[in-house]
Amino acid sequence: MSHAAKRRIGTAFRYTFLSAVSLLSIFPLYWMAVASTNRTVDILRGTLIPGTEFLNNLRFLLEGQNITGAMRNSFVNAASTTLAALVICSLAGYGFEVYHTKNNDRMKIVLLTAMMIPFATTMIPLFRMFAQMGLLNATLAVILPSISTPFLIMLFRQSTRSFPHDIIEAARLDGLNEISIFFRMFIPTMRPTYAAAMTITFMGAWNNFLWPRVIIMNNEMMTMPMLVANLTAGYVTNYGVLMLAVLLSTIPTVIVFFLLQKSFAEGITGAVKG
Amino acid sequence: MKKFIAATLVLALVFALAACDTPATGGDAGDAGSKLTVWCWDPAFNLFAMEEAAKVYKQINPGFELDIVEIGWDDLQTNLITIAMSGQLQALPDIFLVQNNAFQKNVMNYPELFADLTDFSVPYHQFGPSVVAYSTIGGRNFGVPFDNGAAVAAYRLDILEEAGYTLEDFTDITWDTYIEQAKDILAKTGKPLLSGGAGDMDLICILLQSMGASFFDADGNPDIVGNEYISLAFDVYVQLVSNGLMVEVNSWDEYIGTFNNGIVAGVINGCWILGSVQQADDQFGLWGITNLPKFSNVSGATHYSANGGSSWAVASSSSNVDLAVDFLTQTFGGSIEFYENILFAAGALANWLPAGESDVYNEPQPFFRDVPIYALITEFAGLIPSNYTGVYYYEARDAIGNAIVLVLAGADKDEALKDAEDTLRFWMMQ
């Protein structure tokens, strides 16, 4: 067999393998989309062909559930959490690295330890705190616990390491004050890190379920994950409607991910745009 | 860039301010004179019933208002625990729905959450004794029964007929006869009579309650080793599975699929399962329901049992306990009109026995070959033996579930039950 033929076979094999794996990972998404156009009975009978029930399922969602409200609430929660988290955590991470002291290192250990505490253990004291502050059923109560996370602070701290300190020195010499250096030199340079942090935070906030479910006790402020959970809590589950709600709930995170995909990879690997 | 940063900060500020503006109404609406807040799940069923109850009650109390919050049982349970542990009882609604099997556990663990309804005028004698027992702890009543969990045996009549049987052949029978006939039907039609989740405890629990038996003795101690009832229930279960008379599946969806797709010829479960049975409109007129097979030669054995069901609880923190109890009493415990309204629209069946006498309950149901199934189920509901659920009911279910899987895999029954009791005692820290 010639060399070229061997290579062709190799390529063919590689493509077949990759196609099979892609199909495998896309299948659940396909199934979800197909299920959103079918009736429960057909879904349980294992249909894999798009059906004709999409509009009925959509009507059921619009009429039976506060889906527009839930989308809006989820968006407001996720967007404000993301904005606040980016500002606060990047400032903290930047400060840790640039104004380095011994106490900072001790603080870092405390932060790393905090990363290991599962949320379930802090939920009850947190609930008590917010209830006493009169913040039950308040958007602020949903946002506040997740705007400063050890993970994000560490992410920003790590990436600040790759930020050339010469730039800071040069800026100081040019007469910029410390806050301006952060906003005018650091943020524009660290865009990929911000993109990565934004993707992670937005997805986390959008999908956040346990805390909002505990602190929000009315239908008007329900978020998408809460709505999806309610759809599965009935005695008879309408799988078509459920899958449509899951599909709708996935779209915003997919959009955010694809928009920031390139920067996300760069940000995670810690690249600096010069 | 400057503009971008400014815009970002302004946006963040706006969001924060918007968040601050949100009124903290809290879960309880107690301050309003005749407004109640309710937590429950399932819009087509419990929420619908609550809305209808509010309409009926408005005729008596025109200023009455009801705010219903939709929340699944698992999440409701999480919230109850969070509220109880943090001591922030003001976050509770006025009324909330509790699964019957979890009622005793919650009252025993968090008695401060529940208002004692014993001295109010709830007509407990008009409910089946077994459903009242779920929310009775130490002789005190803490709930108003609502959702009927009476167990039914439903059969595909066309498949029975194909094998030469009728519904009468499956009415008032024993488990021995059932297994005999099921084998015959499997041989003639290739269809098993039952299905269930592998390791799922629904059927075992139905079997146990049909004998009034429990995993615990009257003092709440595990009573598994040497419990003749559990042993009998295991024997029936093992016979059903090992003879291929019962198909074991892995998920709830698959379970529904087994009868929607005509893989099995029957169902035994709480009457709420009929909602899923009726989803398959191509099986219209092919189903019939009757009572359960019973254990022969067992004292206290009956043809009746239950699976699930739920009851309304009133929060002790409510500033409107009187109104909340009166509302529940006048509707769920006193209005035939209300039960008629929710029957067809939601398929919600009464535990309140006088409703069974209503004309609407006695109307023939075409899906079930014109049998008035609702009156029939209400009649079943009055005959169910009660059993002890206690604090560790779900833990016991899990332990026994493991045991049945082991026994089916060939382990010795007595040893598996001994292990189950040891595990349960460990969980109970005994």
| Per-residue pLDDT at B109 exceeds 50 | yes
Angle A141-A147-A151 from CA coordinates, rounded to 5°: 135
Asked if B72 and A219 come within 8 Å (Cβ–Cβ), the reply is: no
Token readout for A264 is: 């996300």
Asked if B1 and A140 come within 8 Å (Cβ–Cβ), the reply is: no
Name the closest residue on chain A to residue B27, using Cα atoms. Answer: A217
Residue B25 is nearest to which of A214, A218, A232, comparing CB atoms? A218
Residues with Cβ < 8 Å from A119, sequence gap 6 or more? A210, A211
Asked if A45 and B44 come within 8 Å (Cβ–Cβ), the reply is: no
* Chain B residues touching A125 at Cβ < 8 A: 86
| Per-residue pLDDT at B22 exceeds 50 | no
Average pLDDT, chain A: 89
* Most A CBs within 10 Å, among B70, B89, B252, to test the A interface: B70
pLDDT tens, residue by residue, A155-200: 999 889 888 888 899 999 999 999 999 998 899 888 889 999 999 9
CA-to-CA distance for A87 and A151, rounded, in angstroms?
Answer: 14
| Per-residue pLDDT at B13 exceeds 70 | no
pLDDT at res. A71? 94
Distance (Å) from the alpha carbon of A44 to chain B's nearest alpha carbon: 5
Fold (CATH) for B151-305+392-427: D-Maltodextrin-Binding Protein; domain 2 (3.40.190)
pLDDT tens, residue by residue, B271-305: 988 888 988 889 999 999 999 999 998 988 999 99
pLDDT tens, residue by residue, A210-263: 999 999 988 899 999 999 999 988 877 888 999 999 999 999 999 998 888 877
| Per-residue pLDDT at B26 exceeds 50 | no
* Chain A residues touching B24 at Cβ < 8 A: 134-138
| Per-residue pLDDT at B29 exceeds 50 | no
Contact of A210 with chain B, judged by CB distance below 8 Å, is answered with: yes
Asked if B19 and A143 come within 8 Å (Cβ–Cβ), the reply is: yes
- Top pLDDT among B191 and A47 is at B191
* Chain B residues touching A77 at Cβ < 8 A: none
Asked if B279 and A40 come within 8 Å (Cβ–Cβ), the reply is: yes
In chain A, residues 142-171 whose CB comes closer than 8 Å to chain B? 143
pLDDT tens, residue by residue, B353-394: 898 888 888 999 999 999 999 999 999 988 999 888 888 898
* Chain A residues touching B23 at Cβ < 8 A: 137
In chain B, residues 39-68 whose CB comes closer than 8 Å to chain A? 39, 41-45, 67-68
CA-to-CA distance for A191 and B5, rounded, in angstroms?
Answer: 13
CB B139 within 8 A of CB B133: no
**Chain A with chain B: Cβ pairs closer than 8 A:** 144
CA-to-CA distance for B161 and B240, rounded, in angstroms?
Answer: 21
In chain B, residues 15-44 whose CB comes closer than 8 Å to chain A? 15-16, 18-20, 22-27, 39, 41-44
pLDDT tens, residue by residue, B211-221: 999 999 888 89
CA-to-CA distance for B73 and A133, rounded, in angstroms?
Answer: 27
Cα pseudo-dihedral B254, B209, B41, B374, rounded to 10:
90
| Per-residue pLDDT at B152 exceeds 70 | yes
* Most B CBs within 10 Å, among A236, A238, A241, A242, to test the B interface: A236
Token readout for A255 is: 């959009």
Could you name the CATH architecture of B35-149+308-378?
Answer: 3-Layer(aba) Sandwich (3.40)
- The full set of domain ranges for chain A reads 1-35, 36-269
* Chain B residues touching A42 at Cβ < 8 A: none
Name the closest residue on chain A to residue B256, using Cα atoms. Answer: A44
CA-to-CA distance for B64 and B56, rounded, in angstroms?
Answer: 10
Asked if A219 and B70 come within 8 Å (Cβ–Cβ), the reply is: yes
CATH numeric code, A36-269: 1.10.3720.10
Percent residues over pLDDT 90 in chain B: 71
Greatest CA separation found in chain B?
A: 86
Percent residues over pLDDT 70 in chain A: 97
Average pLDDT, chain B: 89
Confidence of residue B19 (pLDDT cuts 50, 70, 90): very low
Helical pair A67-98 and A224-232, crossing angle rounded to 10 deg: 130
Beta-strand ranges (E) seen in B15-150 are 35-40, 65-70, 95-99, 136-137, 140-141, 143-147
Asked if B86 and A84 come within 8 Å (Cβ–Cβ), the reply is: no
Distance (Å) from the alpha carbon of B245 to chain A's nearest alpha carbon: 21
CA-to-CA distance for A139 and A80, rounded, in angstroms?
Answer: 10
* Window from A28-32, A61-65, A84-88, B159-163 with minimum mean pLDDT: A61-65
Confidence of residue B418 (pLDDT cuts 50, 70, 90): very high
Contact of B10 with chain A, judged by CB distance below 8 Å, is answered with: no
CB burial of A142-180 (b: ≥16 within 10 Å; e: otherwise) equals: bbbbbbebbbbbbbbbebbeebeeeebeebeeeebeeee
* Chain A residues touching B28 at Cβ < 8 A: none
Asked if A236 and B25 come within 8 Å (Cβ–Cβ), the reply is: no
Name the closest residue on chain B to residue A144, using Cα atoms. Answer: B16
Percent residues over pLDDT 70 in chain B: 93
Side chain identity at residue B12, one-letter code: A
Mean pLDDT of B128-138: 90
Contact of A72 with chain B, judged by CB distance below 8 Å, is answered with: no
| Overall size of chain A counted in residues | 274
Asked if A140 and B16 come within 8 Å (Cβ–Cβ), the reply is: yes
Q: Considering only CA atoms, which of B79, B106, B82, B78 is closest in space to residue A122?
A: B82
Contact of B297 with chain A, judged by CB distance below 8 Å, is answered with: no
pLDDT tens, residue by residue, A63-94: 888 899 999 999 999 999 999 999 999 999 99
Contact of B280 with chain A, judged by CB distance below 8 Å, is answered with: yes
Residues with Cβ < 8 Å from B407, sequence gap 6 or more? B234, B238, B413, B416
Mean pLDDT of A17-42: 92
| Per-residue pLDDT at B134 exceeds 70 | yes
In chain A, residues 37-56 whose CB comes closer than 8 Å to chain B? 40-41, 44-46
Name the closest residue on chain B to residue A131, using Cα atoms. Answer: B88
Contact of B72 with chain A, judged by CB distance below 8 Å, is answered with: yes
Asked if A80 and B93 come within 8 Å (Cβ–Cβ), the reply is: no
pLDDT at res. B389? 83
* Most B CBs within 10 Å, among A31, A40, A41, to test the B interface: A41
| Per-residue pLDDT at B10 exceeds 60 | no
pLDDT tens, residue by residue, B43-54: 888 999 999 999
pLDDT at res. A54? 92
Gyration radius of chain A's alpha carbons? 24
Between the alpha carbon of residue B281 and those of residues B68, B210, B265, B368, B396, the distances in Å are 32, 31, 16, 12, 38
Confidence of residue B247 (pLDDT cuts 50, 70, 90): very high
Contact of B250 with chain A, judged by CB distance below 8 Å, is answered with: no
